[in-house]
Amino acid sequence: MNDMNTDPTIHILRSQLGRARGLGSAKSGLHHWWAQRVTAIALLPLSLYFVLSVLMLEGASRTQMMGYMAEPWNAVLFLCLIAALFYHLALGLQTVIEDYVHKDAVRLASLLAVKGLIVFCALASAVSVLKLAL
């Protein structure tokens, strides 16, 4: 950005490619965008299934909970939900952190902490579902 106190000028002799070169590629930007949409679409039916499951398991005993997860469809759908949900959450929180945290070191630390916590919670949830189911 130019200094706001100097008069603006336009240098037209430099090509756009020349300006972009050396600044780095867009890296995985498109993949991030696409993965967020794919997981969003997956979560449309899965979150409705989750809401219905919560209604069915309301006030359930642990035995009823194990009986529910012992049905293979329920265990598989819960595992699908966990995969899509935590992936979508990781992508979304990454965008929020990148938008609002401007100091490089703090941003990197926040991203690592949030992603680490998300992987931990996703695995803890999936192992719990499997333990209930098996």
| 89 near another protein, judged by CB under 8 A | yes
| 132 near another protein, judged by CB under 8 A | yes
| The one segment of 24-32, 37-45, 104-112 that binds another protein by CB under 8 A | 37-45
Rounded distance between C-alpha atoms, residue 123 and residue 102, angstroms: 30
**Among 31, 32, 65, 67, which residue sits at the site for another protein (rule: CB under 8 A)?**
65
| 119 near another protein, judged by CB under 8 A | no
| The one segment of 24-32, 89-97, 102-110 that binds another protein by CB under 8 A | 89-97
User: C-beta of 39: minimal distance to another protein in Å?
Assistant: 10
User: C-beta of 121: minimal distance to another protein in Å?
Assistant: 4
| The one segment of 24-32, 101-109, 124-132 that binds another protein by CB under 8 A | 124-132
| 46 near another protein, judged by CB under 8 A | no
Count of residues of this chain found to bind another protein when the rule CB under 8 A is applied: 38
Count of residues making up the chain: 134
Q: What is the DSSP string of the chain?
A: ---TTSPP----SS-HHHHHTTS---TTHHHHHHHHHHHHHHHHHHHHHHHHHHHHTTT--HHHHHHHHHSHHHHHHHHHHHHHHHHHHHHHHHHHHHHH--SHHHHHHHHHHHHHHHHHHHHHHHHHHHHHH-
Residue with tokens 């398991």: 57
SS3 labels along 89-105: HHHHHHHHHHHHCCCHH
Positions touching another protein (CB under 8 A) are 1-2, 4, 7-11, 16, 19, 37, 40-41, 43-44, 47, 51, 55, 58-60, 62, 65-66, 85-86, 89, 92-93, 96, 121, 124-125, 127-129, 131-132
